[in-house]
Amino acid sequence: MNYFLLTLMLLGIYGISVEMNPHAQSWQLFCGFHLAALIAISSVSLVYLKQLQTKYKRYTFILLQWLAFRIAYFPIVVFSATVSCYSEVVLSYFATDLPINVFPAMFMSAAIFFSMMNITIFWALNGKTALYAVIILMGMPAILISFADTNDLTVFPDNNVGDIEPLPKVTLPKENPYGLALTSTHNSLGQKMIGLAGQTLYDLIPNAPWSQLVQGTLEQAYLNHPDGNAHDQLRYHYGAFLAAHHQLST
């Protein structure tokens, strides 16, 4: 637990360093989310791996954590960004100019989400078999989203190490566009699931500066590319995060 809290604090400091940089780049987001996953896997393994009685279960646990990372990466990016939206709202009440509004909460919440997922896997392996139903229930939509088409069949979920140039033009939200996926006859089942998830989350985004700029920019990206796969959508999200940050920082 001490290791997890220490590394979580260091991850928050890393998020502050990203937020302090008005010209933050996509590799910094890439590193933040991968560090969050690494912290989760190492922390959970340190505590729980030795509690599994056989080598088979221990190796299976490590493998399942990696598979869960691959499958849940993009959904967790979206969920942690949503946490950042609410973090921005809460911190706005304190009228602080400290660089803690968005990225610290984003990376720290990602680590917590990854950890919760890995702990659920442990308890399922350790005899709480009812949790397999939870894993399947939550895992199937994540699989459809993360493997929306054949181009998503990659070992790693994120290839946004290089700069996103140019960054998208920021716009404010106008209307929920994600229903287009549900009525399209060309989209795959995974692309429809991406649209359904986007349609559900759209009205949950609060009215705050960074949140609104990200929402509007993603709205325009989706209208321009409604057939994007998970890798495309991840790039659009990174671009929107950075474009909104750049505009508010300059």
Closest CA to 247 of 206, 209, 202: 209
pLDDT digits 0-9 by tens, 82-95: 999 999 999 998 87
Residue with tokens 């508010």: 248
- Cis before 166? omega within 30: yes
pLDDT digits 0-9 by tens, 159-195: 998 889 999 999 999 999 999 888 888 899 999 999 9
Q: What residues make up the domain containing 99?
A: 2-249
For residue 205, the model assigns a pLDDT of 97
Helices 55-92 and 26-48, axial angle in degrees (round to 10): 130
pTM (predicted TM-score): 0.95
**CA torsion, ordered 130, 201, 208, 249, to nearest 10 deg:** 90
The number of folded domains in the chain is: 1
Calpha distance 153→180 (Å, rounded): 24
